[in-house]
Amino acid sequence: MSSYSPAPSSRAEVRVPCSDLGAEMAFFQTALGFRLDEIYPADDPRTALLSGHGTYLRLQRDAPESPVTLCVLADDPATFAKGETLLTSPAGNRIEIAAIDPDYDTPTPTQEYILRRLVDRAPWVIGRAGMHYRDLIPGRLGGSIIASHIRIPTGGPVPDMVHYHTVGFQLIYCYKGWVRLVYEDQGEPFILNAGDCVTQPPQIRHRVLEASDELQVIEIGVPAEHVTTIDHEMSLPNGVINREREFDGQRFCHHQLDSATWQAWRMAGFESRDTGVAAASGGVAGVQVARYTGGETPEVAHGVDILFTFILSGSMVLQSNKGEQPLGAGEAFVLPRGMMTRYAQCSDDLELLEVSLPAV
């Protein structure tokens, strides 16, 4: 993929209106640390070019624009501009000071009973890199989590770039088809097949390279709104293999269906395969794939902050004090802490993806 590199003789400027050029110049130089590069005409200056913080400003007396808003991002806003986070120039231009790499804020999850059925006809929204997104948790539990059903209808190369996410936890589960991925410090690109999953620890660089026709994945992100940052400097693969590297206390996890071991699940009538996510994430989250093995299922409740379930195949009836809800493949539900439920009338091919935060 080609990228645009401006010629050395070109630059981009923001035109900043003012009536008193001298006062405006003094403000940007003294309060914000901008440097004066050009000023003209000499006998009665009306234009000044300032540079700083990766930006060129063209201060122009009596420019036709309304006052502008300039965001200045600093490593430590408390030591920048005497700790002020909002300033107004003599001409009324607004300057906001913020952190250049802000920490994510994970709200306390709300406890809600949520069903996401196909009959709801949740819209598919075109998102990043042309992917189609379907929201699986309306309301997102107070902003604490996002669960997306993502599809790429037409396979081939994906117009993605090396990037990373400022998150607390992120999971990609391949539901249908396959996708080729590459991750920082994890060696050469590899294929994620249906039934496989990976975690994307905070700020690990990665890239989606290629997808099959009708690729579908389930993506979990904590918190619901998080920043995606493009890394223009790193190329992947980066020639390093360090499986034990920690990214903000979490390790990369690649679980493969072909090598999975099935064992008794927390609920009678099911067996599960542990994806290894609980160990890799340091207990931040747990991810299990469970399948029905037969017999009576018990009435149970959970005690975690978030319990999300996506039905991979088959059907069941979710019984609770809210009534009986028939559910099938492609549908999802969230159960609040302490709510008694029973997975009843399970079909022989019932298979579930369950994500818990923290790990069960």
Higher pLDDT: 120 or 187? It is 187
In a domain, 5, yes or no: no
- Pair (237, 270) in one structural domain: no
Which of these three, 255, 281, 305, is where a domain ends? 255
pLDDT of residue 99: 87
User: Could you tell me if residue 109 is inside a domain?
Assistant: no
Q: In whole angstroms, what separates CA 204 from the centre of its chain?
A: 12
End residue of a domain, out of 255, 290, 321: 255
Same domain for 218 and 140: yes
Domain closes at, from 233, 255, 277: 255
Count of positions (residues) in the chain:
360
What pLDDT score does 126 carry?
84
> For residue 6, is it within any domain?
no
pLDDT digits (tens, 9 = 90+) for 347-358: 999 999 999 999
Q: Are residues 135 and 19 in the same domain?
A: no
Of the pLDDT bands very low, low, confident and very high (cuts 50, 70, 90), residue 131 is confident
Expressed as residue numbers, the domain containing 20 is 14-99
Confidence check: pLDDT of 297 > 70: yes
Q: pLDDT tens digits, residue range 163-183?
A: 999 999 999 999 999 999 999
- One domain for residues 232 and 168: yes
**For residue 1, what pLDDT band results from cuts at 50, 70 and 90?**
very low
Confidence check: pLDDT of 3 > 60? no
- CB neighbours (10 Å) of residue 242? 12
Check whether residue 190 and residue 73 sit in a common domain: no
Pairing of strands 262-264, 270-274: antiparallel
3-state helix, strand, coil in the chain (%, to 5): 10, 45, 45
**Residue 71 placed within a domain:** yes
- H-run or E-run covering 140: helix 140-143
Q: Are residues 57 and 137 in the same domain?
A: no
Q: 132 with 150: CB under 8 angstroms?
A: yes
pLDDT above 80 (res 326): yes
Q: Residues 60, 126: one domain?
A: no
Please check whether residue 46 is in contact with residue 60, taking contact to mean a CB–CB distance below 8 angstroms. Answer: yes
In a domain, 106, yes or no: no
Q: What is the mean pLDDT of residues 94-112?
A: 87
Query: Is residue 237 reached through a cis peptide bond, with omega within 30 degrees of 0 on the bond before it?
Result: yes
Residue 56, token pair as written in the block: 């060129």
Residue 107 lies inside a defined structural domain of this protein: no
CATH number, residue 66: 3.10.180.10
Contacts of 77 (CB under 8 A, 6+ apart): 83, 85, 97, 98, 99
- Going by C-alpha positions, the residue among 116, 115, 170, 117 that lies closest to residue 145 is 170
Q: Which tens digits make up the pLDDT trace of 54-66? A: 999 999 999 999 9
* 237 and 157 within one domain: yes
Using DSSP bridges, classify how beta strands 197-199 and 169-176 pair: parallel, antiparallel or unpaired.
Answer: antiparallel
Determine the 3-state secondary structure of 280 from DSSP: helix
Q: Which CATH number covers residue 289?
A: 2.60.120.10
- Residue 281 scores a pLDDT above 80: yes
Residue with tokens 């064992």: 263
In a domain, 169, yes or no: yes
Asked whether the predicted pLDDT for residue 96 surpasses 50, the reply is yes
pLDDT at 5 over 80: no
Do 128 and 210 lie in one domain? The reply is yes
Instruction: Count the neighbouring beta carbons within 10 Å of the beta carbon of residue 123.
Output: 9
In the chain, the number of structural domains is 3
Tokens (6 digits) for 179: 């996708």
Any domain includes 105: no
Per residue in 299-317, pLDDT (tens digit) is 999 999 999 999 999 999 9
Q: E-assigned strands of 14-162?
A: 14-18, 35-40, 47-52, 55-61, 69-74, 86-88, 94-99, 114-116, 125-126, 132-135, 146-152, 156-157
Strands 169-176 and 215-222, bridge-based pairing:
antiparallel
Segment 143-152 shows an average pLDDT of 95
Q: How confident is the model at residue 46 (pLDDT cuts 50, 70, 90)?
A: very high
Same domain, 265 and 290: yes
For residue 128, give every residue at least 6 positions away whose Cβ sits within 8 Å of its Cβ, in sequence order, or none.
228
Burial 161-192 (b: 16+ CB within 10 A, else e): ebbbbbbbbbbbbbbebbbbbbbbbbeeebeb
